[in-house]
Structure 1
Amino acid sequence: MDIIHETFAIEIAEYDEWQDRSRKNNFFELVYILDGKGFHSVNYVDYPYEENGIFLLPTAKCHKYVIEKPTRFLFVRFMGSYFLPNSNGTVDYSNWFSRLNFIMGNHSHLSGEMIDDPDDKKQLKRLLDVIIYEYNRKDICSAFVIQNTLVSVLAIICRNVQQKVWGGRTFNDEKFVDLLNFISFNILDPEKLSVKYLSNKFHVSETYFSEYFRRNSSERFQDYVLKSKLRIAQSRAKYTDNPIQDIALDLGFTDSSHLNRMMKNHFGKGMREIRKEMKK
């Protein structure tokens, strides 16, 4: 693994037979199939892969590739610090921290290929070609170019995850679609999720906002926000080793007990139960 920046690492590797790789201290990993064919297995579920396939891997332990045809992989490993609001990088990634929480909370890590839109897949290939070029060039500006290109890569991933979350559902009110996107991508910012702030931003009367949201989504605004946070908490319990107390505080819960109560109410299982299931 060639570490070219403190917040991410890039590797291009070819395998005839899969070998276990060290994946410690990463937030998640993006895998792009340059060429080859086989099956991708996460937690004992197999999905076919082929050239130009792309996968998003959490820190799952039960992970491997069953290689049918010699395969070249592009691995992009994201360290947790890449998405921290106080990152030392020259680019401000504070908004992306919430976006990645949205991806982690809503992307099924057992779903195999994650980009369905053919035009997005072509665009993603162009961006990854830029990353490969800079990886091979390795000059003084390469890390910065890769870092900025990854912003666009993640935007495309985010768009595809959002489409899957909606499951083909359409909304007649375009403003409401913008509202849902704004909530999803600012889920950790309580100020921006206040009814007052959202009413002003989207030009909806504050007294009418709750009714407006329920009429368009068929659920209460507070319930939508809570379930969004709980999906993120569930994903972190499954795919990271973060302390449950830290997860709770980061998502705006009073403490781990508060988060566990909410999780049991909505999913029937507490955080520790969810984490233990992934270790079996």
Structure 2
Amino acid sequence: MEIKNLYRPYELELLETDSYTAKPHRNTFFEMVFTLEGTGVQIINEHELPYTANKFFLIFPEDKHGFEVHDLTRFYFIHFTDSYLKTQSDQWVKKMEFIFHNHNHLPGCILKTVTDKPLVRAMVEALIRETSNLYPQHNQVLEQVMNAIITIAARNITLQQRADIIKQPSATTLPLLNYIHENIYQPERLRVEHMASCFNLSPNYISEYFKKTTGESLQQYITGYKIKLIETRLQYTDKRMGEIAYEFGFTDESHLNRIFKKYKGENPTAFRKKYAELNN
């Protein structure tokens, strides 16, 4: 299995081809792909789905993926590494976290709204134009457009999640999960009494129902989700342990260490060090 690496924080590439078959491979970086024109098949983790023009794909590190081109296709690739993520604002990293933990890693366009497809296309075309010139603030413009595209990706994953909720015959649990995800940085909003009030349910009922339908208590799920987000912090930011503990509502660094080790079998420092060693 071929493994591809990226040696700069981000890289933009326009590829036009009519006879291209990308053998399944894995990246050590993140990838967004927009098809400006053409037809073919996208493959992710051994799942296949046809593509046409104006499709937008997300590919994550360690995803096994490739493309088969049937007709002349213009791909636009946006590659970026974890070092690029570390240069961005906390709010932007949180948008990325939403994508990490809610995307299904299956093939197919993630743009679910009619208006977002021409919007992303216009942004991609702007990246193509901007790449060809060296005007002042060139890099800042590129990064801002890239981040706007990622924000649109997060929005569409949110919309898809809500559409899936509507399709459920019994849809109480998924709105609860969505509420937890949206308020994970505000501990007071995650108290069972506050959640029960928001959903017009009794505290006892909401706790019992959540446990019955998910197999976990509310507190177990909330803590487990925090641990997933903390893993992202440890992998893709340089935040100190004390900062992470404060951000996620732990009393102090030792409290964070104890809970993280309980869930992951190692303390946060060891987890971060292991990840860094694997990616050097």
Say if 2:222 is the partner of 1:225.
Answer: yes
Match of 1:69 in 2: 71
Q: Which segments of 5 or more consecutive residues in structure 2 lack a partner in the other structure? A: 167-175, 211-216, 236-240, 249-255, 266-280
Q: In structure 2, what residue type is equivalent to 1:211? A: A
- Give the conservation status (yes or no) of the 8 Å contact 1:103–1:158: yes
Q: Percentage identity across aligned positions?
A: 22
Indicate whether 1:156 and 2:152 are aligned.
yes
In structure 2, how many angstroms separate the alpha carbons of the residues matched to 1:47 and 1:257? 40
Shift of 1:129: 1.6
Q: Structure 2 residue aligned with 1:17, among 15, 20, 30? A: 20
Q: What is aligned with 1:137?
A: 133
Which of the numbers 115, 118, 121 marks the counterpart of 1:119?
115
Conserved? CA contact 2:25–2:66, under 8 Å: no
Tell me which residue corresponds to 2:274.
none
1:37 aligned to which of 36, 39, 44? 39
RMSD between superposed Cα atoms in Å: 4.1
**Alpha-carbon distance in structure 2 between the residues aligned to 1:103 and 1:155:** 9
Distance (Å, rounded) in 1 between the aligned partners of 2:119 and 2:47: 28
Task: Report the CA distance shift for 1:19/1:138 in structure 2 as closer, same or farther (over 3 A).
Answer: farther
Cα deviation for residue 70 of structure 1 reads: 2.3
Residue 116 of structure 1 aligns with an amino acid whose one-letter code is K
1:105 aligns with 2:101: yes
- How big is the shift at 1:32? 0.6
Alpha-carbon contact 2:27-2:62 (below 8 Å) kept: no
Change (3 A) 1:230 1:112: farther
Amino acid across the alignment from 1:127:
M
Instruction: Decide whether aligned partners of structure 1 residues 110 and 10 sit closer, same or farther in structure 2, where only a CA change above 3 A counts.
Output: same
TM-score when normalising by structure 2: 0.65
- Give the corresponding residue for 1:255: 260
Secondary structure in structure 2 of the residue aligned to 1:255: helix
The C-alpha deviation readout for 1:208-254, integer Å capped at 9, x for no partner, is: 414224547874764563464477699x8xxx9xxxxx9xx998673
Q: Structure 1 residues 141, 97: closer, same or farther in 2, change over 3 A?
A: same
Return the letter of the residue paired with 2:151: A
| Secondary structure of residue in 2 paired with 1:109 | coil
In structure 1, runs of 5+ residues without a counterpart are: 171-178, 200-205, 241-245, 261-280
> How many corresponding residue pairs?
224
Structure 1 pair 257–194 and aligned structure 2 pair: CA distance change class (3 A): closer
Task: Verify the 8 A CA contact 1:98 1:185 in the aligned structure 2.
Answer: no
Partner of 1:193: 186
Secondary structure of the residue that 1:137 maps to in structure 2? coil
Larger radius of gyration: 2
